[in-house]
Structure 1
Amino acid sequence: MQKLHTPSVVHALAAAVLLAASGFSMAQTDAAAKPAAKPAAKKQPVVNPSSRTNLKSAAKNVAAGIEAAEAALTPAELAIAERVHVGKLPCELGAAVDLTADPKAPGYFSVVGKNFKYRMFPVATSTGAIRLEDQKAGAVWLQLANKSMLMNQKLGIRLADECMSPAQLAVAEAIKLNPPASVLDAPKPAVAAAPAAAAPGTSDASAVAAQPASAAK
């Protein structure tokens, strides 16, 4: 014959079941309420401010070195630079060239016009003409007494011609009024005067008599 459970035992078992069920429900609620863990953020590389300062300083030093190298012109080249005509120079066919000296680099010039811009420095010549060059671009500026011209030797073309400053215009006008003698115009040799011929019908004796006494001796 089976033994009947006493009410206290039954109550204890029911309480245990209820407690277990309650704990399981609370565990599910906590799991649902807890947000999903976020993925770990990637660490950004840390840039040292001193590194940026060093890079800027190095860039400034390089630029200063380039300027110093540019400024290292010879006294002869600097003397040529002092004779360069600057300003906006009108040229033929309505063109113009703006030639400006660089205040930070003595002897260097900026030559600007339509569709071109060059940075030039003086180069000594055997003819005495003033010559500026941009060797990287192959551009040459030639300044004569009465005009200037700009050429691109790499392209083999003349970019501007008959460019004149006020001083060059004055020289050009003076040349028009008094053209210089050409090398082809050599002086003509002097021609010796021929002796006067005797008049028709006169003898040699009369011709001699007509000459001065000193010549007749």
Structure 2
Amino acid sequence: MEQLQEVFSTIKEEIISRTWNLCKGDLEIAAIILRFIIDNNTTFQQQSYLVRLLKKFGNKIDKITILKVWRNCNQINADTHEKLQEICTTSNLDESKEENETKILREMCLHILWNILKYPKRIKYRQINKQALYNHLFKKCYMLSADFEQVLMDMEKNLQYLGFKKGDDDNSYYQNNDIQSLLLWHYYQQLISQQIMYWLCVRIYFVVLIKQVI
């Protein structure tokens, strides 16, 4: 920090100290922020606002991005805060969307595997009607606001992984009877463990949320 104080002597020690702390000892990032402050001819109040924004959003948004947004918003604290909040919201929606897509695929694969493992001699569970699958996935994607095209593409890859191939009529998927049940059971265990971890995380989230409310 002493090195920063020497290089950026025109910036008050309080700002340098707060910048150093929010960068957690990363000299390079701290120097970039302080250089940015000087280059943009900021007042002490503006510097204080900027450091506060970096502290609040720095764990969610890249610090360089925050600096760019702040400059694009003409160094206005309220406008920058609103824009950064919007970026965070969009990012959270994208993450939620990806989680929903994964959830749909996992549950569909579990359903298919469970039927095959439970009824290994029933041929109907080794055949999947293409249109019925599409309709089911479309309904799920619509309910969870997931990307149907992406889910459909990933589902076809998963079916291949589970030993399914498209029939000559292109209306159904058929599983190779030679695939071993032990291998399918291994796939099922992998997916079910992910399902358990997912619901465990959801449960922990709600417990924490309830404690915060109380």
TM-score normalized by the length of structure 2 = 0.22
Structure number with greater CO (CA < 8 Å, separation at least 6) is 2
Higher Rg? 1
Q: Which structure has greater helix proportion?
A: 2
TM-score normalized by the length of structure 1 = 0.21
Q: Which structure has greater strand proportion?
A: 1
